[in-house]
Every structure is written in C-alpha cells, then in structure tokens.
Amino acid sequence: QIEATVDAYLEGEEFHKLPDVPPSPLKAHGLEVNLVSYSKGKVKSMPGFDVIKRLPSFVWLSPAASVGSEVTFTVDLITSPGCCVLMNDDPEILDKDLNFIRYLEEINGLFVYETKGESLARPTAATFGVGSGKKLHRRDLSLDRPGLM
C-alpha cells in the first residue's frame, strides 16, 4: 500500500499498472495466526518455531520471544509469543496446518524453558532455615480444655 501511494504521486505510469480489484477467484487461501502460550518461563529454546517453518502452508513467521526472554500466559495480543502467515492452494492443507499449530500450543511445544533445580526431598524446618530441628510449635487450641465450648 505504501509503494502504491508513492507510485500514485511520483510514478503515475507504474501506479496505473496496478489492478483496480483483486484477482477473482482467489488463487490461494491464507491465514494470519496469532500464537498462544499456555505456559510461562524463561526460554531455553524454541523448537516449535522450527517445526512451524516446515509446514506446507508456511509463508512467514514473526516471533515476539527469543532465547533468554520471558514468556507469559497469553491473555491478549501483547502477550502473544508471535504470529505467522500460512497460505496454500488447498484449504484442507491450510486447515491441517492451523490445527497442528494449535496442537503445538496446547502441548506447550513452542518453547523449552530453563528449569530450576529443586529438591524433591520432604521439607523440614531446616529447609526453610527455621529452628534447630526441635519441635517448632505447640498446640494452642484443644477441645479438652474447660470453657472452650
């Protein structure tokens, strides 16, 4: 559109070469897909984006995340991890590619996140840096005491 506007002002002959209406019937089917993140974390790698680039309908990809960046749950366009354009002569192939992208999102296949080492041992008072290992609390409430009920 910008080029057409410039041509209209500076290159009248080029502007008049443009068609007045889009070709009909359309020669392909296309979609712009806004990606959705159902997970959050610091991105270690982005294997799902490499898979999207191999789809038969793939035309263009604009990731909003990169390795090392933080991804959050998608709640609007600003928190979307990116978008891509798909186009194909066959609407069934286009639909299959869209469904595959949605499947990748649902299984959290777009990103691999950095993990934090966590101990799976049962926590103790020492885990939280409290006390000396002795009993840390006493019962303050008991129904055995007179006058409580």
pLDDT digit string, tens, across residues 66-95? 999 999 999 999 999 999 999 999 999 999
- pTM listed for this prediction: 0.65
Does the pLDDT value for residue 142 go beyond 70? no
**pLDDT for the residue 109:** 95
| Predicted confidence band of residue 149 (pLDDT cuts 50, 70, 90) | very low
**Bridge partners for 85 per DSSP:** 32, 60
pLDDT, tens digit (0-9, with 9 covering 90-100), for 98-112: 999 999 999 999 999
**pLDDT for the residue 88:** 96
Report which secondary-structure segment, H or E, holds 106. Answer: helix 91-106
- CA 96 to centroid of chain Cα atoms: 19
The tokens for 69 are 């960046």
The tokens for 119 are 């101990």
